[in-house]
Structure 1
């Protein structure tokens, strides 16, 4: 099928400027200078880094801000179905014509200068955010922090660091301390930073960075606490107690993501109504998303069908905790992963909770682990593993013998994007 519009432009950009990871701020700073420094003309920025929970925390922050009658731009990555998901302008996904115009403007101004795909798209987002009024900008790092191309805002209103674990070790380092050093690079002098639950090794680095920069910290377990009690979310900080509904986003790990969002909102002066909107109104596709009405659900009409894009060992542990919290029901995994992830570390925690695992190769994804290799790795982790040629084949095989099973599609955001493209594109762009 011939690509048109922004899809064609993005494909051409990918050929000219490959999707490489090149950790540096020099190129994007030079480009932003030629664009007139849009990064210096943004509404107040909340900058978010971490290994797990960045997107969920951002979604709750946006729901809280909008619940208070204010507006927020948002920049997230990667997208699931269409690039437009990455740029949200005052609540709405960027339109096709606006996206094409912004990308072309940035490409024209950059000319033949070396640049990466991510830097071009980040610069386009900054231009859009600077030109359209809003009360806040919610900015999610793509990789790391200190050298991430979003880290060009010198004075954000607040920073947030969600839980840190090992991921992208080839780029960020092979210890939690090295990874934390990169993530803590978003901390700015004198700017308050909300810190989610952290391993001691990571928290020590964050605290040292904040002390050096005189940045006030709001640390989980010290300055704020969040827990589930009698089917409610209880949050406590120095301003008092909140008794709220459980987060709309599923999974026990969302309690602490909600806590980080609530700590940020309270520090920024938002009231209890905004805090309740944060936890009840957030939507974030492919994070323990229940698939109920699309084509895939019709292929498995009696099954309980879930989708999750987590892909590292910490995500595997969180997913295992979620499965353990559900009513007893045979659970079958359909899994696909990319070759930069720790497949064994992700799969091992899930083995006690899975009746079977069907491995797939992600279609049209060159970095996908071949299904046969993933099945072999899963078997070494204790899974009853097999291979299928397609998602449809996997669902058919499971439902032939277990029509009322719980089926979890998991292992990669790239796989989640494939799933949603097969199902219903509106699922990938909700919220």
Structure 2
């Protein structure tokens, strides 16, 4: 027997417009979308009903699993705490970032991220999760052991995205040595001599490993249908390399030139939603609002604040240079879903998953009132 649910009197956030109408869900799938009034179904009281948010890049699971340097939390407990916050923020599909490649920043030992991924599978099998959790591998290509750690995920069907990162000084995220010194020297409390030695080691590792590891991982992902992301591209040369590797997502480009070139090359340009909410980058790079204003911002990620993913689209839709809300919501729903091949979600359309979020917003910070995943209320 089919299970049917109707939501009426909703402001439906479709891919290109917002209309007043109703949605029929049947067995967890959107069966009909109708404009106009009806007396049938649960009254949404004029609130927005939008697709469940799709998150491509969040480090939030890591902060629950390792809440302090050297501290490891119970994996299932960490996953459930992360999942609860994600779902309450309207996120119904999340690609959890797992960091591969040991370095002096305290990278995880080999096998540790595999254990977390196994715990995610257990949580899924035991119906502990509100959101649909997939995997984003953050691959530090300058690390000696990144390929060894990558081996642990070669048969994991939940891996949907791999980012190619190199955090060596004086390039990409930290284009000048001064930026790098400000961030790492202060963070690690190093003396001048110790910091110079640290930076020299990072540069040497990048020179030795990055190019080979970047190519190896990109080629494997292309062969297996796993989407790839560049990370912190800063120059046209970086973008040309990413394009040659078949990269689909340009994560956090650090110059307007790189962002424009990535967008023109057909990559989805991804920036952090906290950058939108705060109005600036935490590391001193370009403003995501500026990229949105010139039409080259495609995807938002919550990065380190899950709720920012529902907050940022409303920030962009307000004010003097407002962008239509349907377009900004697309940055956290349809576009990220397509970027990693999830064509069954991210839009309100017949035949797609019944992943929905009810949002009340008069002004300021929006309120997530209800969340459904495949027609089941999860928050």
Q: Which gives a bigger RCO, structure 1 or 2 (Cα 8 Å, sep 6+)? A: 2
Which structure has greater strand proportion? 2
Q: Give TM-score scaled by structure 2 length.
A: 0.28
TM-score (norm 1): 0.26
Higher helix share goes to which structure? 1
